Amino acid sequence: MPEDISWVETRGRVKQFIEDVVYPLEDGFDKDTAESQAALKAVQQKAKDAGLWALGHPKDIGGQGMPFMDYVYVNEVIGRSHLGSVAVGSNTLQDSIMLRLYASPEWRKNYMEPLVAGEFYQSFAMTEPEVASSDPTGIQTSAVLDGNHWVINGHKWFTSGADRAKYTTVMVKTEPDAPSHEAFSMIIVPTDNPGYNIQRDIRAMGMLGGHMEVKYENCRVPATNMLGERGEGFKVAQERLGPGRIFHAMRWLGQAQRAFDIMCERLNSRKIRGEKLGDKQLMQAFVFESAAEIQQSRLMTLDAARKMDAGDQARVEISLIKVTGARMLHNVIDRAIQVLGARGVTDDTPLERMYRMARFARLVDGADEVHIYRTGRRILRAFERGEGYDFGEREGNMSHQSRRAET
């Protein structure tokens, strides 16, 4: 991407692309067919031709190298459509960065650039049905080194898109005698492995494609398929989940803005007894509450993004936006549906799909309850140490020593 092009201009171009090209693709896309995939490929090519593909990916792996903070603004408009991230190639950003940082030279050479180019799909597996997902240290799927291969046995579910993915990055226990957060590693498993057995497609609310339940049965993969070193699973996962929550929050803002636009257009066009629906004070209150919540969430998200961009892990700020952003998303969409009445719960508008996806937001990348109690605990421990937790003072960089003390 030329350095003289501002993020404002790029954001405007992406917004127009999403509205003009991606919105029309949404109709009838619930079914994963050869026709729908061909239509998606055509839209992806249009994004590439327009110079809008893989904007946030580093240049050395085939992306356009947009700076983190600039991309945060752009990701908001990408999120206005549930197909937006796939249409412009941003859906692979977190996984490609994991490969870039931790994969073996062989994997980086053979998989990283094709992944960024959208030549195949990938998937990620942590959650297991037998243990509480809110405590990933309870993961039971194990990998044992046998010569120059890992042998994996275990049970995962909600592995999104595994039915079409070329590989799955799996969190497994490799160091059973190590402390809990040092007992796990990340290993790449090609989905055509004979020991990789999909059990069923778990249908979930509002999500395109499926969330697969997978059993790993004496699944043998080369030792070079490990990301990072043994016992670094949580470190690798954090590289994916930390920025990912920022991107979720920005996409939620895009969804909320779209719902807000639909609501306001309806309030100005619908008439009751000769008056616009928007002239009713209760409806004006809907507009006010939605506008306030969207802007509050946007400013909190940008604050967290700035801290991350400066090298701060921003764990408190990320948890705050994760929880409040999900609530905001639900509230704004709910009001829009109420304004549209019965039409709002049909598929004549995108609202009913957005509403289902909004419910999912309170669970994705950590249930809200986990973020709430961990954030409360972090803040209280800072007060116990006599440091307090002044959000104004936290503007800027946090020292490495202070970051370690919070863990």
Is residue 250 assigned to a domain? yes
Is residue 2's pLDDT more than 70? no
Q: What is the CATH number of the domain that holds 129?
A: 2.40.110.10
Is the pLDDT at 208 greater than 60, yes or no?
A: no
Whether residue 297 sits in one domain with residue 216: no
Enclosing domain of residue 385: 235-406
Identify whether residues 166 and 180 lie together within a single domain. yes
Instruction: Check which CATH number belongs to the domain holding 93 and give it.
Output: 1.10.540.10
Could you tell me if 40 and 182 lie in one domain?
A: no
204 lies in the same domain as 349:
no
pLDDT grade for 3, boundaries at 50, 70 and 90: low
Angle 212-53-361 from CA coordinates, rounded to 5°: 40
Summarised one tens digit per residue, pLDDT across range 90-125 is: 999 988 888 999 999 888 888 888 999 999 999 999
2 within a domain of the structure (yes/no): no
Average pLDDT over residues 333-360: 94
pLDDT band per the 50, 70, 90 thresholds, residue 316: very high
Same-domain status, 250 and 217? no
Is residue 168 within 8 Å of 131, Cβ to Cβ? no
Q: Is the confidence at residue 399, as pLDDT, over 50? A: no
Q: Which own/partner contact pairs does 143-148 have at CB distance under 8 Å and 24+ positions apart?
A: 143/172, 143/173, 143/174, 143/185, 143/187, 144/174, 145/174, 145/223, 146/220, 148/222, 148/223
pTM score of the predicted model: 0.86
**Does the residue 1 lie in any domain?**
no
Q: State whether 175 and 245 are in the same domain.
A: no
| 134-159 mean pLDDT | 94
77-102 mean pLDDT: 92
Q: Taking all residues of the chain, what is their mean pLDDT, rounded to a whole number?
A: 90
Which runs of consecutive H residues, i.e. helices, occur in 276-314?
A: 281-309
The residue among 90, 116, 142 that closes a domain is 116
Residues 331 and 383 in one domain: yes
Q: 108 and 257: one domain?
A: no
* pLDDT on residue 18: 97
Same domain, 154 and 287: no
Q: Pick 257 or 242 by higher pLDDT.
A: 257
Q: Are residues 56 and 166 in the same domain?
A: no
Which of 206, 231, 256 marks a domain boundary?
231
Quick one: which of 275, 272, 255 has its CA closest to 336? 255
Residue at 157 is within a domain: yes
Q: Nearest 10 degrees: CA dihedral of 249, 237, 401, 393?
A: 0
**Domains held by the chain: number:** 3
The answer on pLDDT for 387 being more than 70 is yes
Residue 81 lies in a domain: yes
Q: Are residues 253 and 356 in the same domain?
A: yes
Tell me: pLDDT of 308 over 90. Answer: no
| Residue 87 forms part of a structural domain | yes
Statement to judge: residues 223 and 247 lie in one domain: no
Residue 47: inside a domain: yes
For residue 311, the model assigns a pLDDT of 83
pLDDT of residue 404: 43
Whole-number pLDDT of residue 180: 85
Task: Give the residue from 99, 116, 133 where a domain finishes.
Answer: 116
Among candidate residues 208, 98, 204, 205, the one with its CA nearest the CA of residue 158:
204
What pLDDT, on a 0 to 100 scale, did the predictor assign at position 206?
Answer: 55
pLDDT band of residue 397 (cuts 50, 70, 90) is very low
Location of structure tokens 């509230």: 331
Q: Tokens representing 37?
A: 């995939």
